[in-house]
Amino acid sequence: MTRRVVSLLPSTTEIVAALGRSELLVGRSHECDFPAEVEDLPVISRPRHDPVGSSAQIHRDVQELLTEVLSIYQVDADALRAAAPDLILTQDLCRVCAVAEDEVLAAARAHLGHEVEVLTSSPLTLAGVLGDILRVAEALGAREAGEALVARLRGEFAAIHRAVSGRIRPTLTLLEWVDPLMAGGSWGPELIELAGATPLLGAAGGHSPLLAAEELARADPDVLVVSPCGYGLDRAAEDLPLLRALPGWEQLTAVRSGRVAVVDGSAYVNRPGPRLVETAAILAAVVHGVGPGCDLEGTGWRWMG
């Protein structure tokens, strides 16, 4: 089957590439950046608001914008018409993550003169992520490749879990945003469990909750992982002074023991695609100092200095 595919999600772009079907992509979102060759594709979506300023300002601007529109991104009509896809990959999970499903459907009706399939992704769990891989594979006529990819990922998750089996399980809190504080939910707690730790404050399969500094202090995790949504490693590190200024920060067990790590959330933690295996490996390296995630220290994660 030959298809013309526009992917409006970094995760689905990675899935298409991991299935060995990159040649089918005719357009991407402005955030799709992996593998590197997809950056040559036409950009089909753009933000309504440039995410600049402090994390607190970005959060305020986004929340204000979402009172007026469905999502903070929009489809470039001219680019969509030029790409002429017959399959669009989008999402309905988060209005901050990518163009909203309703906007994609409206744009397809308004700007494409042919039938187009819209496949919507909304995973909240690892099972949901793996299920989406199979759904994308089916839509591409690549079912066998999808089954092989899912089997490989399951095997790699299992290997990470075996490597930390039997070890003492520290508690771990994943911070998905710093100002305001937000704990990681969705698949994050499952990855923490796989990596040999006990998650605190975020619920598996649930949306990421806002936290008060007092809640973090009461939880007092043994390990803290700071991975703001959409931030690379250097940008995430810029917010560390905000954490140091929190009341009770210096008294946290993770801080006193030097077990606070910063992780590239944009590439790993926040992107529900094949690289969640690397995320689990990074967490195992942070928690237990073992496995392939150790090789990503300095590029995918670093200790808070």
Specify the residue for token string 């100092």.
Answer: 289
Distance CA 45, CA 101 (A): 13
Q: Answer whether residue 139 is part of any domain.
A: no
Other beta carbons within 10 Å of 267: 23
Number of separate domains in the chain: 2
Q: Answer whether residue 276 is part of any domain.
A: yes
Q: Which of 122, 155, 184 is the last residue of a domain?
A: 122
Task: Check whether residue 181 and residue 297 sit in a common domain.
Answer: yes
Residue 284 has what pLDDT?
98
Q: Answer whether residue 153 is part of any domain.
A: no
Give the closest residue to 286 by CA, choosing from 273, 267, 304, 266: 304
Q: Which of 102, 122, 142 is the last residue of a domain?
A: 122
Enclosing H/E stretch for 83: helix 77-83
Are 31 and 10 in contact by the 8 Å Cβ rule? The answer is yes
Residue 65 has what pLDDT?
42
Are 26 and 7 in contact by the 8 Å Cβ rule? The answer is no
Q: Answer whether residue 20 is part of any domain.
A: yes
Task: Check whether residue 290 and residue 182 sit in a common domain.
Answer: yes
Distance CA 290, CA 299 (A): 17
Instruction: Output the tens digit of pLDDT for each of the chain's 305 residues.
Output: 689 999 999 999 999 999 999 999 999 999 999 999 999 999 998 875 555 556 655 555 445 544 444 455 788 889 999 999 999 998 876 555 556 667 777 777 777 877 899 999 889 999 999 999 999 999 999 999 999 999 999 999 999 999 999 999 999 999 999 999 999 999 999 999 999 999 999 888 888 889 999 999 999 999 999 999 989 999 999 999 999 999 999 999 999 999 999 999 999 999 999 999 999 999 999 999 999 999 999 999 999 97
Instruction: Considering only CA atoms, give the Rg of the chain.
Output: 19
Task: Check whether residue 26 and residue 89 sit in a common domain.
Answer: yes
Q: Answer whether residue 93 is part of any domain.
A: yes
Task: Check whether residue 20 and residue 82 sit in a common domain.
Answer: yes
Angle between helices 126-139 and 10-18 (to 10 degrees): 60
Are 22 and 16 in contact by the 8 Å Cβ rule? The answer is yes
CATH number, domain containing residue 269: 3.40.50.1980
Phi, psi of 158 (to 5 degrees): -65, -40
Q: Answer whether residue 135 is part of any domain.
A: no
Distance CA 129, CA 276 (A): 9
Task: Check whether residue 182 and residue 110 sit in a common domain.
Answer: no
Task: Check whether residue 214 and residue 279 sit in a common domain.
Answer: yes
Q: What is the strand order of the sheet 25-28 is part of?
A: 25-28, 5-7, 87-91, 117-121
pTM for the model stands at 0.90
Q: Answer whether residue 152 is part of any domain.
A: no
Joined together, the tokens standing for residue 53 give: 């300023």
Q: Answer whether residue 101 is part of any domain.
A: yes
Distance CA 290, CA 84 (A): 47
Task: Check whether residue 116 and residue 177 sit in a common domain.
Answer: no
Task: Check whether residue 99 and residue 200 sit in a common domain.
Answer: no
Are 262 and 227 in contact by the 8 Å Cβ rule? The answer is yes
Residue 97 has what pLDDT?
53
Specify the residue for token string 């390990």.
Answer: 223
Residue 91 has what pLDDT?
81
Task: Check whether residue 202 and residue 279 sit in a common domain.
Answer: yes
Give the closest residue to 21 by CA, choosing from 153, 137, 150: 137
Residue 99 has what pLDDT?
66
Joined together, the tokens standing for residue 227 give: 């991975």
Q: Which of 122, 137, 161 is the last residue of a domain?
A: 122
Joined together, the tokens standing for residue 92 give: 């309905």
Are 49 and 61 in contact by the 8 Å Cβ rule? The answer is yes
Q: Provide the domain limits for residue 206.
A: 170-303
